[in-house]
């Protein structure tokens, strides 16, 4: 089993790192239009740097890890090589707002395609990855794929019509969470907490709170109410968040990101 990555950007390298941890770096092949990125990633991961044609020729699963507007130009020169191996490979795309049908057109051939929307937490094996696939992907193919991705985090298989709306929070959400952590840390620094401790306290609080919710199965409102004592300090803070339209701001951020995704699809 060999897995290739056409692109070594932030998301591509995050997934490649997870795959290296699962199947061994000697079985992961990478390339990038900026070869220095591929070489830099190889230096820390141990994977093999090779050209895009060799990746198509030698790999079983091939991740297309470039921006949506670069996919057509990436796949066009690879058309004949893909056609020769169309029954033996599976393309994996992670381009936001880009349908499987669009990738099929770019590839100019009927080929198994899995479309995923991962997030940066795949770097540490805690990612949320939504996946869908076309009719050429077999049950064995998708099962092997989920095994390969095991070290990246949690995978949820859904219908393609849902992937854009379902993946907005998992895909964009980390940036919102990091902004929240930064705000918590800044607030602590303003009242005298050293910066390094402020970051650690804020991050661990968010991490622990999320883990408690997932493991308990309780809804956020119930857990929030458990922390808010009548007339206490926490409910006073919640009041301040509501005064600042905290919930509306979060909901508006998600809606804005989704609208941008729809615009990408229509361009």
Dump pLDDT digits (tens) for 11-51.
Answer: 999 999 999 999 999 999 999 999 999 999 999 999 999 99
**Domain 171-266 has what CATH class?**
mainly alpha
Sequence ranges of the domains in the chain = 3-157, 171-266
Residue 93: name the closest of 62, 120, 122 by CA.
Answer: 62
Contact present, 41 and 47 (Cβ < 8 Å): yes
| Pair of tokens at residue 38 | 């591929």
DSSP line for 148-163 = HTGGGEEEEE--HHHH
- Compute the chain's Rg from CA coordinates: 21
Per-residue pLDDT reduced to its tens digit, 85-142: 988 999 999 988 889 999 999 888 889 999 999 998 998 999 999 999 999 999 999 9
| Pair of tokens at residue 111 | 């080929």
- For 30, 70, 75, the CA distances from 107, given in Å and listed in that order, are 19, 13, 6
Helices 195-216 and 220-227 sit at what angle, rounded to 10 degrees?
Answer: 130
CATH number belonging to domain 3-157: 3.40.50.720
Predicted TM-score (pTM) above 0.75? yes
Contact present, 160 and 132 (Cβ < 8 Å): yes
């Amino acid at each position: 089993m060999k897995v290739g990555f056409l692109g070594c950007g932030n998301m591509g390298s995050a997934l490649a790192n997870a795959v290296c941890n699962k199947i061994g770096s000697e079985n992961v092949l990478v390339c990038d239009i900026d070869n220095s990125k591929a070489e830099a990633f190889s230096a820390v991961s141990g994977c093999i740097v090779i050209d895009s044609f060799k990746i198509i020729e030698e790999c079983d699963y091939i991740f297309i890890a470039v921006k949506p507007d670069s996919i057509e130009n990436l796949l066009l020169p690879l058309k004949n090589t893909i056609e020769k191996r169309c029954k033996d490979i599976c393309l994996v795309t992670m381009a936001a707002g880009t349908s499987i049908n669009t990738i099929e057109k770019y590839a100019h051939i009927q080929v198994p395609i899995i479309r995923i929307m991962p997030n940066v937490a795949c770097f540490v094996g805690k990612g949320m990855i939504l996946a869908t696939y076309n009719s050429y992907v077999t049950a064995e193919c998708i099962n092997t794929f989920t095994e390969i991705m095991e070290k990246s985090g949690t995978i949820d298989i859904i219908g393609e019509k849902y992937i854009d709306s379902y993946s907005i929070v998992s895909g964009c959400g980390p940036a919102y969470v990091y902004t929240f952590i930064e705000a918590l840390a800044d607030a602590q620094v303003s009242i005298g907490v050293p910066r390094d401790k402020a970051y650690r306290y804020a991050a661990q609080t968010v991490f622990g709170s999320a883990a408690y919710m997932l493991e308990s199965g309780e809804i956020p409102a119930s857990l929030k109410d458990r922390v808010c004592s009548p007339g206490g300090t926490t409910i006073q803070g919640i009041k301040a968040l509501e005064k600042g339209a905290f919930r509306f701001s979060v909901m508006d951020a998600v809606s804005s990101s989704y609208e941008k995704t729809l615009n990408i699809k229509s361009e």
